[in-house]
Structure 1
Amino acid sequence: MVEKLDCLHDSANPPDVFIVERLFSSSLVVVVSAATPQCMNIYHFKKGTEICNYSYPNSILAVKLNRQRLVVCLEGSIYIHNIKDMKLLKTLLNTASNPSGLCALSVNHSNSFLAYPGSVTFGEIIVHDTNSLSIVTMIPAHDSPLAALAFNASATKLASASERGTVIRVFSVPEGQRLFEFRRGMKRYVNISSLSFSPDGHFLCASSNTETVHIFKLEQLGPSGEDDAATWTAYVGKMFSAASSYLPVQVSGMMSQDRAFATAHLLSSGPRNVCTLVTIQELPRLLVATADGQLFIYNVDPQNGGECTLAYTHRLIGVDDNQREGPESEGSQVTVQVQSSPSYAETAALPASGPVTAILTGYSEDGGAKNGEVIPEHEFATGPVCLDDENEFPPIDSCRSGAGGGQGKSV
């Protein structure tokens, strides 16, 4: 249902949260508070219990998780945990300065790839395999520093955008070959805040600090001409393609770029936002959530593209007396927050290298058992909580709802 949102959890006294990440549609959420930005808390929000908490040397800028790994990103380092027992598997030290905490973790835990910036001066992407704990490839994606990264659902493609915000590129994973190049615009640089593939991987959406959200279609024109037929556009495209080998790289690259397949116009520009493509009631929809607490739902024409129509507007936080509506909607007020815990402030002293836990008392700084002590699997201070329990934390395939299922997004 798109005309109504259900509140999954509400806390009467929430902490000053600035990061919330949920494990698909499970009850497991990761929370970082502005009051203690070096501490990460993991909760079972339906039970109202804290599973564990970890502290790190510096402020946490991003947390990503799938059913295999939990990744914590600091400005100059990245920590990779085994999500089943929170053991620290690897620490990537002295990574390129990353003050925005930019990184992407694939939702596919079989191909659990992590992408993050490899340079502060240009857009190099490092792709790390969090299963084998090794670097897979390094991609020179852009001339300017990176601004956004996103994997598709199968982790076979990686999309990227730079701080200039004019060009979006898609690369194959793990090969790192460029597959697509899309031009968002040429007149001005923008700050691209979000990239997201559709569940089937056929479309890619991008939002920025402007009022327009772009949707690109990922399709290769057939070499035999079956897909591009005898149209004037296809003819000109073939001429450009043939001529590109004789032109400077900058010119040939611009000629090969594809424009947006569809666009959606927001009611205002400026507030930071995130976008995603989902299937609701068997129809493709574009969802855009803004930093001021609004959710916009657009209808998308998967055949013809063009301008997306606004179907519904919901306020996620607070009350909006002047609720804006789509042509057939009624807005709804929803507050979505996480349960706080009395043990939240009881954090151990920060270590010199690596995280510690104030809850898993039998664990050392690297997540292993102290002095050879055997810790019962998944035994936490709040009682046994099995993080890989199919019933409590179902895999992504079995937790898809009418909104298209979760992809590790914030609640």
Structure 2
Amino acid sequence: MAAYQMNFNQDFTSLSVLSSAGLRLYSIAGQDKVEEIFAKDNTEQIRIVERLFNSSLVVLVTSQKPNCLKMLHFKKKQDICNCFYPSEILCVRMNRQRLIVCLAESIHIHDIRDMKILHSIENIAPNELGLCALSLNSHLAFPICQASGELRIFNANKLRTGMTIKAHDTPLSALTFSPSGALLATASERGTVIRVFCVKNGQRVQEFRRGVKRCVRIASLVFAAAGDYLCASSNTETVHVFKIDNRAVEVAELKAIAEVAAKSDSNAKELATATATTTTKTSSSSAAPAASTAAGTAEEAEATPGSTAASWGGMFTKAMSSLLLPAQVSDVLAQDRAFATVVLPQPGLKNICALTRVQKELRLLIACEDGFLYMHDFNAERGGVCKLLAVHDLRGALEGVIELQLSESVLKAQTPKALPQQSLTMLKSCAASVLIENPDPVADNSYAGILRGEQADAMSDSAKFRKLCDAIDTPTKLYDERQFPPVALTAKD
């Protein structure tokens, strides 16, 4: 395991930090500081941790029991259940409906409310990296070929196999869904080209060029919380942020609607032809504008530099390159470049990114395996190089957190090198079996626990269900029942 293994939750509001010392969970409350909300020693040698949004549910996988998934209510410090699998767990993904466990040659889908196994995808191509992605609306994507970047989309809600997409010529190294689940971004092991596909019909919506270097390892690929940007980090010192073309997404969705109509309606062929014709006319008029329009656009570009002119120029370049240049050269010119970048202090480190709003301001967060969290400003209008605002040291306890507020004068004087371096139930599905083990009961001496009579009962399925729901749901409480009980309790928690 790396010195510090970082991982954001699904909405980028908290961050887990794994090290040889143990596990720490931090809440990203604002730009000024982060708050430690949970700590656990590493006697079990934790190697995978996932938190479900801002709930109390955390799942762990340890090196001592690599085929065991441990579910924890971290606020009460209670184990919920343990799930055992046929082989080593490589990846865990969660949303509010499903929990996905990825093994080397199978994927298991659970209902997160009761951990019942709903389906197992067996005999997939060996996936030694445990590569898979789960959207918030339960679309699941995973590679199905070791020799190329071919993937499959599976509907984990309806338990139906979806389409197959040939994303790259070389094997995949990263994939992620947009928050809405409408888009899927992929990168191959070469790491030079990032592609975005429409989930409805598999059409390629956009293509980005990260760089020209070979053998670049993509460490993080993630959409912004609003789905309008895509962040990519690698083992180089540069983090790239690409802008999603909303118009291209709309065109892809229109085509998907037309394709569905063509299959269900006898008159859909005319509709599909009309939609395709309209799309073609729109693209042609945009790619080859009249001379007078181009002149008018140039005048507007002087008033608003870098906006309209850049758009027309990019379209003209793509149109001309597709007509006059060889296919490979044309593809390179048609690829979009980064909208914004960040240059990190040191190359070769693994960094994970998040582009989200912190105290209503758009911020680019970069968590590095050196143990630091970097916060950058992000200009949604101009893009460019993102300004470093704060650095948080997450290597120790909360008392040891270092918070650096970087003024403009400090930034000018500071070079990148000056920054920190450093009862069992057997559930069978297909050929695989999954064991779900309820842990030894833990006495609940709170007032509510006494009323429920749980303090002396073994954890039944219904009790496990209640604890899971309690961990997943996070309702607002006016007070803590243990701090304000109706009667005096002598029992200690």
CA–CA separation in structure 1 for the residues paired with 2:400 and 2:103: 39
What letter matches 1:38 in structure 2? N
Partner in structure 1 of residue 117 of structure 2: 88
Mapped partners of 2:102, 2:356: distance in 1: 27
Contact 1:38 1:59 in 2 (8 A): yes
Structure 2 residue corresponding to 1:384, chosen from 466, 471, 492: 466
Shift of the 199–349 alpha-carbon distance from structure 1 to 2, 3 Å rule, reads closer
Number of the residue aligned with 1:315:
393
Contact 1:19 1:31 in 2 (8 A): yes
Distance 1:300 1:275, change over 3 A: same
C-alpha contact (below 8 Å) 2:90/2:129 kept by paired residues: yes
Tell whether the 8 Å contact from 1:55 to 1:348 is kept in structure 2 after alignment.
no
What SS class does the counterpart of residue 78 from structure 1 fall into? strand
Whole-angstrom distance in 1 between the partners of 2:204 and 2:462: 42
- CA–CA separation in structure 1 for the residues paired with 2:41 and 2:188: 40
Count of residue correspondences: 361
Question: Which of 1 and 2 has greater Rg?
Answer: 2
Match of 1:120 in 2: 146
Q: Deviations over 1:19-61 (max 9, x none)?
A: 0001111000010011111110001100110111111111100
| Aligned residue in 2 for 1:18 | 47
- Contact 1:27–1:45, Cα closer than 8 Å, also in 2: yes
Per the TM alignment, residue 187 of structure 1 is displaced from its structure 2 partner at its CA by 3.4
Provide the residue aligned with 1:271 in structure 2. 349
Unpaired stretches in structure 1, ≥5 consecutive residues: 330-345, 362-374, 395-411
Q: 1:12-411 maps to which residues of 2 (within 5 A)?
A: 12=41, 15-106=44-135, 108=136, 111-219=137-245, 220=247, 223=283, 225=286, 229-230=297-298, 231=309, 234-235=312-313, 237-245=315-323, 247-318=325-396, 325-328=404-407, 353-359=432-438, 378-380=462-464, 384-387=466-469, 391-392=473-474
CA distance in 1: counterparts of 2:323 and 2:148, whole angstroms: 25
Give the distance between the partners of 1:236 and 1:8, measured in 2 at CA: 47
Query: Equivalents in 1 of 2:437, 2:468: separation in Å?
Result: 19
Secondary structure class of the residue paired with 2:214 = coil
Q: Which amino acid aligns with 1:241?
A: A
What displacement does 1:92 show?
0.8
Return the TM-score normalized by structure 2: 0.67
Q: Give how far 1:157 is off.
A: 0.4
Query: Do the aligned residues in 1 keep the contact of 2:426 with 2:436 (CA within 8 Å)?
Result: no
| CA distance, structure 2, for counterparts of residue 347 and residue 390 of structure 1 | 22
Shift of 1:294: 1.6
Instruction: Calculate percent identity across the aligned residue pairs.
Output: 43
Q: Structure 1 residues 256, 47: CA separation in 2 closer, same or farther (over 3 Å shift)?
A: same
Structure 1's 389 and 47: CA in aligned 2 closer, same or farther, altered over 3 A? closer
Residue 391 and residue 103 in structure 1: after superposition, are their counterparts in 2 closer, same or farther (change >3 A)?
closer
Relative to 1, partners in 2 of residues 1:233 and 1:46: Cα closer, same or farther, differing over 3 Å? closer
Indicate how the Cα distance of structure 1 residues 249 and 7 shifts in structure 2: closer, same or farther if over 3 A, else same. same
**1:87 maps to amino acid:** K
Q: Are the aligned partners of 1:115 and 1:125 in contact in 2 as well (CA < 8 Å)?
A: yes
Distance in 2, Cα, partners of 1:29 & 1:389:
9
Q: Deviations over 1:364-410 (max 9, x none)?
A: xxxxxxxxxxx976422xx831427874379xxxxxxxxxxxxxxxx
- Structure 2: distance between partners of 1:256 and 1:165: 17
Q: In structure 2, what is the Cα distance between the partners aligned to 1:385 and 1:270?
A: 42
Task: Report deviation, 1:325.
Answer: 3.4
RMSD: 3.2
Structure with larger RCO (C-alpha < 8 A, sep 6+) = 1
Alpha-carbon spacing, 1:393–1:385, altered in 2? closer, same or farther (3 Å): farther
Unaligned runs of 5+ residues in structure 2 are 1-29, 249-281, 299-308, 409-422, 441-458, 477-493
Distance, in Å, in 1 between the alignment partners of 2:96 and 2:55 is 10
The aligned amino acid for 2:83 is Y
Deviations along 1:4-32, one digit per CA (max 9) or x if unpaired, are 11111122565311100011110000100
Structure 2 CA distance, aligned partners of 1:23 and 1:147?
24
Change (3 A) 1:378 1:164: farther
Aligned to 1:333: none
Q: Which amino acid aligns with 2:463?
A: E
1:58 is paired with a residue whose SS is coil
Contact 1:28 1:393 in 2 (8 A): no
> Does structure 1 conserve the Cα–Cα contact (< 8 Å) formed by 2:98 and 2:156?
yes
Tell me the CA shift for residue 245 of structure 1: 4.6
Following superposition, the deviation at residue 249 of structure 1 comes to 3.0
2:79 is aligned with what amino acid?
E
Q: What is the Cα deviation at residue 139 of structure 1?
A: 0.7
Q: Could you tell me which residue of structure 2 aligns to residue 401 of structure 1?
A: none
Further displaced range: 256-265 or 214-223: 214-223
